[in-house]
Amino acid sequence: MSSGNTPTRSPLQTPTVGFVSLGCPKASSDAERILTQLRAEGYEISSSYDGADLVIVNTCGFIDAAVEESLDAIGEALTENGKVIVTGCLGAKGDIVQSTHPSVLAVTGPHAAEEVMGHVHSHLPKPHDPFMDLVPEAGIRLTPQHFAYLKISEGCNHSCTFCIIPSLRGPLVSRPIGDVLQEAKALAEAGVKELLVISQDTSAYGVDLKYRTGFVGGRPVKTRLKELCEALAEFGIWVRLHYVYPYPSVDDLIPLMAEGKILPYLDVPFQHASPRILKAMKRPASAENNLERIRAWRAICPDITIRSTFIAGFPGETEAEFEELLQFLEEARLDRVGCFAYSPVDGATANDLPGALPDEVREERRRYVMELQEDISADLLAAKIDKEITVLVDAVDEEGAIARSSADAPEIDGVVYLDGVFDVEPGDFVKVRVVDSDAHDLYAERV
């Protein structure tokens, strides 16, 4: 958001709100709900500080670096505009915002759209009563027109020792399946070509509701991930699953992928391979034989892409346990891997575990994981040369089109470069043949 001074606004001018959004896709989904409500009530959205009557900063508070980034963003908004409402995960971490920036107008936690709107109304009265026909049925979105995040639940019931999400976002609260599918329908009708299903624990969707049966278009549908995926498949667009814990129920989804109903893509946060470390992390499904599960998934759906994240240097992690992680990666040959050096998070119980490792050891282990995975990724991508695949175009620049395959989630995975292809637009599906690869991306030509 660009800088400037807060303007003096005539009473006849439309009240305008600036918006800064940080953090994960779940935070973006919260932001979209607030933006949709702002537009529904007639507020304008400003892309600059000097064009705004006040600014909302949607924060992240998961790790120390995110806290610092959020506090800096709040400080910048206060300096450039002066009237700031803070929402998001940082707002749930005690009084850190108020103590650092006491001049903010208000602070809320995450998924608090109604509370945020109440503060907006207090400081910037709404121009008229809400009429939802003033905004598109699919709402106001932060993503490009051709893909969208579909949040199916909020919060988490687990107590992983390195994580404070439950204290920030509360326990699992699944959205009614009718509401989720209504939103998905509106997005599909608005031209969205890819839905990215997100939550804190996607596999647990409906657990809190005891898989209650809802009614969609007059037919009963269970509030459960398998049934949700079957219903989403009917829209005829890409459906990609994120944050899927490896519970046994996940096995039911793989045939849907093999049949082409949803994308053959699973984002599964394994986090480690050592049973002792996983137990110390208090990871759900920590007793599962994940290598065996992966083999079984690939036997049913050979084209499945598996993405995961891992933590290196967890407190007490021995050299032998780190080697277990490396051996797992060598055997599993996952398609996409992210690795983080363990970072103490204020309020996480892992901070009290014995055997904290020096920063340089944690970083060295993280780097070693990523170097190993880079070699694995390069081999897997090279095996795709000469194959024909369907890609979704994201952008077109001076060199050609930039697209993604079913194996590539936006912003976190690789891309497919189509050099010299200009007669396409974002949102187009294109059949291509892979001609080259590197450690992360593919290069292809149109068929």
Annotated binding site for [4Fe-4S] cluster: 24, 60, 89, 156, 160, 163
Nearest to 446 by CA among 399, 400, 414: 400
Length of the chain as a residue count = 447
SS3 of 334, please?
coil
Phi-psi region of 252 (alpha: psi -120 to 50; beta: other; left: phi over 0): alpha
Strands 147-151 and 194-198: parallel
Question: Residues near 47 by Cβ (< 8 Å), separated by ≥ 6?
Answer: 1, 2, 18
Structure tokens at 142: 């932060």
Q: 281 with 314: CB under 8 angstroms? A: yes
The counts of H helices and E strands in the chain are 12, 20
Residue 347 CA to residue 325 CA, distance in Å, equals: 26
Residue closest to 21 by CA, chosen among 12, 3, 33: 33
Q: Which amino acid is at 42?
A: G
Q: Which two tokens stand for residue 260?
A: 């082409």
Tokens, residue 407: 């194996």
Query: Side chain identity at 424, as an amino acid letter?
Result: V
- Known binding-site residues equal 24, 60, 89, 156, 160, 163
User: How many Å apart are CA 21 and CA 427, to the nearest integer?
Assistant: 24
Closest CA to 229 of 190, 255, 209, 208: 255
CA angle at residue 145 from 258 to 428, to 5 degrees?
55
Say if residues 142 and 28 touch (Cβ distance below 8 Å): yes
Q: In which element (H, E) is residue 213 found?
A: strand 213-216
12: helix, strand or coil: coil
Q: What are phi and psi of 76, to 5 degrees?
A: -65, -45
